[in-house]
Amino acid sequence: MTNHRLSIGIAGLDEILHGGLMPRRSYLVRGGPGTGKTTLGFHFLTTGVASSESTLFITFVEPEEDLRENAFHLGFNLDGINFLDLSPTSDFFTQVETYDIFSPAEVEREPITQKIIEYIEKLQPQRVFIDTITQFRYLSADEYQFRKQLLSFLRFLIKNGVTVVFTSEVSSTAPDDDLQFMSDGIIHLELSPEARSLQITKFRGSDYQDGCHSFRLTSQGMEVFPHLMLESYKRDFIAELISSGIPELDQLLHGGLERGMVTLITGPSGVGKTTLGLQFLKEAATKDERSLIYIFEESVQTLILRCESINIPINTMIQEEKLVVVPVEPFFYTPDHLARLVRQEVEKLETKIVMIDSICGYCLSLQGENSVNHLHLLCKYLTNRGVTVILINELETIAGDFRITEIGISYLVDNIIFMRYIERHLAKTTEIRKAISVIKKRVSNFEKSLREIEITPSGMKVSKPVSGIGGVLTGIPIWNDDEPVTL
């Protein structure tokens, strides 16, 4: 038995189908209007032409001229694709047809069937796309005849070496359960106000990637983004420490962050969370390691200006391709779409560190439900590949109850670095300072003390352990030691 597959021409869909369609079988693409069924057909047929296969597009609804124009605007070149246009012409409306003895279905079915047979025998196509098979229903006297005739038609195509993909318009008044039983595979397309989704609900003779997968229609056709399946991406890696480049910070972490772990940097706005994360990316660049950062709340230009002012040469890192900064537009990506972009960076370009700034922006900006679940999957995928993950979490309050996050994700991280503001009470004045501490490190010990941090034009500075600070866990930290700390 052959394992040969036919590519549909959509990389993500081929991946879901474990390589593509099995040849000489029939596949149903079902979905409502505007879900992308015809676009999928364009991919299927143009991929066949690119492989020097004979292809045929049988259309019952849209005229060939309209299909070619639509395909042109989507960037498809339909040269080499044969068309059998069975759509109604304007003459059908102006000419009165009377059927005194036979029903219209019986009169019209035979010439249509004969045309299809002639085209199949003449062209000997390897791929046939039918849009839509629902029209066959109206050429049959009853449901029994429709089912019998359609089964016979599909077997005729397959006997002649054809892999056939046909579409069905799905509605509550026109169910297609019979078509689902007859087909060897079913691709279901769905359009909702939030996003588009794709699901394989049947695929005879082969396994496939289960679940709902997001997709989008673009000026270049259809893009499909498979849902992450963690068991498929396990990879061995060397466990080692990643330095921040700041000796005092590395002492706090007992050497640095472990590779392949998830680190959460949490604290209120402006305390230096992004700057701290970028220290690890900066140090990785000195070792020729590639890093990736997704920013949800600021522009690339703002990030560059801010980093250059504190001695983090982010512009140089970008130019040398040691850092990729990706701004995420609100509601443009689905979680699966973003996950596919991350996979391309990690699997093709060997990216070693991925930073998400911030978790709140991730959950708000991405389409779809259960963003936290998708973040969990993304982190597990990355750690399975030996990639170090840095998550930036912004707390809404500057003071008040001590909490790590406000969306309950501390369970999925291996390390937690906590940053916050503290009041420094001196003899004659009170100052607002910044402190850093580690409260979780899964695979090693860590320093239990607090250290003061300061962000200066020459970079981030971390003090020696300080004493005299109280109330950190109550949410109102106060530093009563009058002795200054030298940074």
Please tell me the predicted confidence (pLDDT) of residue 368: 59
Q: Is the pLDDT of residue 118 over 80?
A: yes
Please tell me the predicted confidence (pLDDT) of residue 468: 64
Please tell me the predicted confidence (pLDDT) of residue 421: 86
Domain 241-479 falls in which CATH fold?
Rossmann fold (3.40.50)
Please tell me the predicted confidence (pLDDT) of residue 48: 97
Residue among 280, 249, 264 at smallest CA distance from 416? 264
Please tell me the predicted confidence (pLDDT) of residue 242: 94
Please tell me the predicted confidence (pLDDT) of residue 408: 73
- Angle at alpha carbon of residue 422, lines to 418 and 423, rounded to 5°: 175
How far, in Å, CA of 482 to CA of 253, rounded?
Answer: 27
Q: What is the pLDDT of residues 52-90, one digit of tens each?
A: 999 999 998 899 999 999 999 999 999 999 999 988 765
Decide which of 122 and 144 is more confident. Answer: 122
Mean pLDDT within 391-401: 77
Please tell me the predicted confidence (pLDDT) of residue 356: 96
Please tell me the predicted confidence (pLDDT) of residue 53: 97
Q: Is the pLDDT of residue 164 over 90?
A: yes
Please tell me the predicted confidence (pLDDT) of residue 433: 86
Beta strand ranges found along 328-458 (DSSP E): 353-357, 388-395, 415-425, 430-441, 450-456
- pTM of the model as a whole: 0.82
Mean pLDDT within 154-173: 89
Give the confidence band of 105 by pLDDT, cuts at 50, 70, 90. Answer: very low
Q: What is the DSSP letter of 22?
A: P
Q: Is the pLDDT of residue 176 over 60?
A: yes
11-226 and 241-479 in the same fold: yes
* % of the chain with per-residue pLDDT over 70: 85
* % of the chain with per-residue pLDDT over 90: 59
Mean pLDDT within 331-349: 90
Largest Cα span, the chain: 109
Please tell me the predicted confidence (pLDDT) of residue 471: 60
SS3 category, 77: coil
Q: Is the pLDDT of residue 464 over 70?
A: yes
Instruction: Point out the least confidently predicted range of 1-15, 147-161, 304-318, 403-417.
Output: 403-417
Q: What is the pLDDT of residues 432-443, one digit of tens each?
A: 889 899 999 998
Give the confidence band of 427 by pLDDT, cuts at 50, 70, 90. Answer: low
Structure tokens at 91: 């003459």
Please tell me the predicted confidence (pLDDT) of residue 401: 63
Please tell me the predicted confidence (pLDDT) of residue 216: 93
List of long-range contacts for 326-330, beta carbons under 8 Å, 24+ apart: 326/292, 326/293, 326/294, 326/295, 327/294, 327/295, 327/296, 327/299, 327/300, 328/294, 328/295, 328/296, 328/361, 328/362, 328/365, 328/366, 329/365, 330/364, 330/365
Using an 8 Å Cβ cutoff, are 55 and 48 in contact? yes
Sign of the C-alpha dihedral computed for residues 202, 76, 23 and 175 taken in this order: positive
Average pLDDT of the residues of the chain: 86
Please tell me the predicted confidence (pLDDT) of residue 103: 43
How far, in Å, CA of 303 to CA of 324, rounded?
Answer: 12
Beta strand 430-441 pairing with 450-456? antiparallel
Q: Is the pLDDT of residue 305 over 50?
A: yes
Q: DSSP labels for 127-177?
A: EEEEE-GGGGGGGSSSHHHHHHHHHHHHHHHHHTT-EEEEEEE--SSS--H
Using an 8 Å Cβ cutoff, are 402 and 470 in contact? no
- Angle at alpha carbon of residue 4, lines to 150 and 9, rounded to 5°: 75
Using an 8 Å Cβ cutoff, are 400 and 475 in contact? yes
For the chain, the domains span 11-226, 241-479
Please tell me the predicted confidence (pLDDT) of residue 233: 66
Structure tokens at 322: 């040691």
Q: Is the pLDDT of residue 99 over 60?
A: no
Decide which of 366 and 286 is more confident. Answer: 286
Using an 8 Å Cβ cutoff, are 87 and 124 in contact? no
Q: Which CATH number fits domain 11-226: 2.60.40.420, 3.40.50.10480, 3.40.718.10, 3.40.50.300?
A: 3.40.50.300
Q: Is the pLDDT of residue 96 over 90?
A: no
